[in-house]
């Protein structure tokens, strides 16, 4: 009897099972070879940050970097932290293809133990296959597109809420708080974040009895929105859902106000940047968006962070800085429990993050590599946004 097919089958299924175990399978322990493991002292860890440090959303990359660096400095200065971190920042230029190259460099050349980032969903989605194939855990602090954790595999984690939740929160807010019965939806074409949010808001808003009057689109980089705002004005909805990024959203609002459309615009976390006001001026006032963080929270941990961040950077932190800071604390918690910088052990420890206190809510990692976190709604003012209400 020829037993080979049976043995091959057994080997194949063993390989399959190992593959299912995620960052295991092929061992990429070389990533941890230059660092000592934790028994004798702190766990030494090399973190690779893939961020938008230039290009269209450079503001977010810079803020993430500041939050991450502050966390690294604090943890390294604390003799009880149990970790000694080094962090390498790689600029993805707010470009999906470059984001993939950035993660390749961090993993293959710099031998990082873990990757953090990116900000924009498109950039995370392009890069995550590299982490998956190289079996290096990757934690996105800010990308909210739902499919990321589904498609990314066992190495890809997220520590913020995702767009199904965010879309539901804003649809519920529109219906219950603003008493909106109709909406116009506006998508940034080709942006996975914006497309996901239009879908989730639409589902929740119509399920709650709301009516979608029309669905419109624009291209990122556009500056003239006359046709779009004219359509919005003639549809005359109770609210406009425009979950885009901060470059185009303020121009859309400003141009709509200029032709006399006064109803509220609603958005997602992509509105959170001071550029909203730089580009839109006082017209930005009295609109609402969903966010992860507000510096005006009375939580003492948030207030300490705001103080330390202000002292170091002379600025007020937004969600991006807070999420970047949180991601480093989560990675440090995992490294301490793993007692090792080995990527596979780290992956398992990230998978079991439990009740980690962070600025944007406690982090407990789910089986699906998602965390359940509260959201808050912020209201835009004349120069900055203010906390409006919490949502769970």
User: Which of 377, 380, 91, 391 has the alpha carbon at shortest distance from 246?
Assistant: 380
User: In terms of CB distance, is 99 or 144 closer to ligand PHE?
Assistant: 144
Q: In what order do the strands lie in the sheet with 156-158?
A: 83-91, 43-51, 114-117, 138-140, 156-158
Asked whether 244 and 194 are in contact (CB, 8 A), the reply is yes
User: In terms of CB distance, is 66 or 263 closer to ligand PHE?
Assistant: 66
User: In terms of CB distance, is 121 or 341 closer to ligand PHE?
Assistant: 121
User: In terms of CB distance, is 138 or 320 closer to ligand PHE?
Assistant: 320
Residues that bind ligand PHE (CB under 6 A): 60, 119-121, 142-145, 193, 269-270, 272, 319-320
User: In terms of CB distance, is 113 or 122 closer to ligand PHE?
Assistant: 122
Neighbours of 77 (CB within 10 A): 8
To which residue do tokens 């991601």 refer? 327
Tell me how far, at minimum, the Cβ of 213 lies from ligand PHE, in Å.
Answer: 26
Whole-number CA gyration radius for the chain:
22
Tell me how far, at minimum, the Cβ of 149 lies from ligand PHE, in Å.
Answer: 12
Tell me how far, at minimum, the Cβ of 192 lies from ligand PHE, in Å.
Answer: 8
Cα separation of 93 and 95, whole Å? Answer: 5
Asked whether 358 and 330 are in contact (CB, 8 A), the reply is yes
Asked whether 209 and 192 are in contact (CB, 8 A), the reply is no
Report helix, strand or coil for 321.
helix
Tell me how far, at minimum, the Cβ of 314 lies from ligand PHE, in Å.
Answer: 21
Report helix, strand or coil for 87.
strand
Tell me how far, at minimum, the Cβ of 41 lies from ligand PHE, in Å.
Answer: 35
Tell me how far, at minimum, the Cβ of 320 lies from ligand PHE, in Å.
Answer: 5
User: In terms of CB distance, is 117 or 153 closer to ligand PHE?
Assistant: 117
């Amino acid at each position: 009897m020829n037993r080979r097919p049976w043995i091959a089958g057994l080997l194949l299924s063993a390989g399959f099972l190992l593959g299912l175990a995620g960052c295991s399978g092929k061992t990429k322990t070389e990533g941890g070879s230059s660092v000592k493991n934790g028994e004798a002292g702190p766990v030494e860890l090399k973190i690779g940050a893939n961020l938008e440090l230039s290009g269209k959303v450079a503001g977010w990359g810079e803020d993430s970097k500041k939050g991450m660096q502050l966390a690294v400095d604090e943890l390294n200065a604390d003799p009880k932290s149990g970790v000694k971190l080094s962090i390498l920042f790689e600029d993805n230029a707010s470009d999906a293809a470059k984001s993939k190259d950035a993660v390749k460099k961090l993993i293959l050349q710099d031998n990082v133990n873990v990757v953090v980032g990116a900000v924009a969903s498109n950039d995370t989605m392009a890069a995550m296959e590299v982490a998956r194939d190289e079996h290096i855990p990757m934690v996105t602090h800010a990308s909210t597109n739902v499919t990321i954790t589904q498609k990314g595999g066992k190495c890809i984690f997220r520590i913020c809420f995702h767009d199904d939740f965010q879309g539901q929160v804003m649809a519920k807010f529109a219906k219950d708080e603003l008493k909106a019965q109709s909406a116009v939806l506006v998508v940034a074409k080709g942006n996975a974040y914006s497309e996901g949010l239009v879908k989730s808001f639409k589902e929740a808003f119509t399920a709650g009895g709301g009516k979608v009057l029309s669905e419109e689109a624009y291209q990122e980089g556009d500056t003239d929105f006359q046709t779009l705002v004219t359509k919005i004005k003639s549809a005359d909805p109770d609210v406009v859902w425009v979950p885009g990024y901060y470059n185009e959203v303020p121009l859309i609002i400003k141009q709509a106000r200029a032709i006399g459309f006064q109803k509220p615009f609603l958005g997602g976390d992509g509105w959170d940047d001071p550029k909203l006001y730089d580009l839109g001026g006082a017209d930005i006032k009295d609109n609402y968006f969903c966010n992860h963080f507000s510096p005006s929270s009375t939580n003492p941990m948030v207030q300490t962070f705001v103080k330390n961040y202000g002292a170091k950077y002379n600025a007020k932190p937004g969600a991006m800085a807070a999420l970047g800071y949180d991601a480093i604390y989560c990675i440090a918690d995992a490294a301490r429990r793993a007692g090792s910088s080995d990527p596979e052990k780290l992956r398992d420890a990230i998978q079991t993050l439990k009740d980690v206190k962070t600025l944007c809510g406690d982090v407990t990692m789910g089986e699906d590599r998602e965390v359940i976190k509260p959201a808050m709604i912020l209201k835009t003012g004349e120069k900055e946004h203010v906390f409006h209400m919490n949502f769970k």
